Amino acid sequence: MVQASSNPLREVAVALPSAVALHARPAATFVKTALRFKSKVSVGGEGKVADAKSILAVLALGATGGTMLTLRAEGDDAPDALYALATCVTGLLE
């Protein structure tokens, strides 16, 4: 028997600002935001997926300016996590 999860996977797409790459400082800001939430959170772009709470995984994405990122979250605070992360991404500065 398959049971429906009470915490369905949620997803949102957001573009990385054109002047920003996910290198050390922006990636650290992103990860710090993800760590505020209990939900399992991932970020994907250009065929790669990373744990949004791992600085090394986020850096390994190698996302450059203009990359379309897919943010996914699963858990009780998933909607809040996605909103905070999408806001974080659009507000990143070089």
Query: Helices 24-34 & 78-90, crossing angle to 10 degrees?
Result: 160
Contact status, residue 48 vs residue 85, Cβ threshold 8 Å: no
- CA-nearest of 11, 81, 17, 3 to 44 is 11
So which residues are the catalytic ones? 23
Q: List the alpha helices (DSSP H) in 1-94.
A: 24-34, 55-61, 78-90
Written as six digits, the tokens of 19 are 């002047």
